Amino acid sequence: MILTGQAIKQAYERGEITIDPFNLSQLNPNSYNYRLSGSILQVNNDGKGHQDFERIELPASGFVLRPKTLYLAATHEIIGSTKYVVTLLGRSSVGRLGLFLNVTADLGHAGSISQWTLELRVVQPLKVYPYMLIGQLAFWKQWGSIVEYRGRYHKDFGPVPNQDTSLLSSEDK
């Protein structure tokens, strides 16, 4: 079952959902709109699998994302729930501009309460702005006993690159 906007608001008021800061104007019929972080990481790749990350503070005048480049961003809000499962997606206003908010990794773990890392990729060059409304969250009821996520990303603040050493090239380990 997916929560309606009213159910999200009530769960927030009961403390079962964390959205900080919370703004009622960002509530939709069945989701909540989140904002882009103030800085992002551009992923630079040497073509042989070695990655490094360049931090970019997004200027108020905007920053142009380039195609064929991966950027890691974060939600401005601290988001999560111990009771519901979160899925992260883009807003249709942003999808219509060709901006992907994740790379087929839209499912959050229950119990992960953090600024969520977004994986940005554009089809056409697109100017984005710090703290713009960029995506939305949906909340889902779960069935079964709950084991909260205590994995490597569960207290992330800001965009966090891959931390799974088994996925790094041998040079980077």
Partner 1 sequence: MILTGSAIGEAVKAGDIVIEPFNKDQLGPNSYDFRLGNRCKIYRDYQLDSAKENLTIDYDVGNDGILLDPCRVYLFNTLETMGSTCYVPIIRGRSSVGRLGIFIDITADLIDIGSINQWTLQLHSVMPVRVYPGMLIGQVTFWKVEGEILLYSGKYGKFQSPVASLSFMDGGPDAVSSIITI
Provide the binding-site residues for partner 1, judged by CB under 8 A.
Answer: 1-8, 10, 23, 28-31, 35, 38, 60-62, 64, 67, 76, 89-102, 106, 123-133, 135-136, 138, 141
Instruction: Identify the DSSP state of 166.
Output: G
Could you tell me which of 37, 38, 50 has the C-alpha nearest to residue 135?
37
Instruction: Identify the DSSP state of 73.
Output: E
> In terms of residues, how long is the chain?
173
Task: Report the 10 Å Cβ neighbour count for 169.
Answer: 11
**Residue 55 vs 152, nearer CB to partner 1:** 55
Q: Which of 13, 119, 148, 171 is catalytic?
A: 119
Q: Measure CA 18 to chain center.
A: 14
Q: How far is CA 100 from CA 90, 97, 121, 127, 160, in A?
A: 7, 9, 5, 14, 18
Q: Residue 80 in contact with residue 117, Cβ under 8 Å?
A: no
* 119 has catalytic annotation: yes
**Residue 93 vs 169, nearer CB to partner 1:** 93
**Residue 131 vs 157, nearer CB to partner 1:** 131
Q: How far is the CB of 43 from partner 1 (least distance, A)?
A: 18
**Residue 89 vs 168, nearer CB to partner 1:** 89
Q: How far is the CB of 44 from partner 1 (least distance, A)?
A: 21
Q: How far is the CB of 24 from partner 1 (least distance, A)?
A: 12
Q: How far is the CB of 145 from partner 1 (least distance, A)?
A: 19
Q: Which two tokens stand for residue 149?
A: 């996520």
Indicate which residues carry an active-site annotation: 119
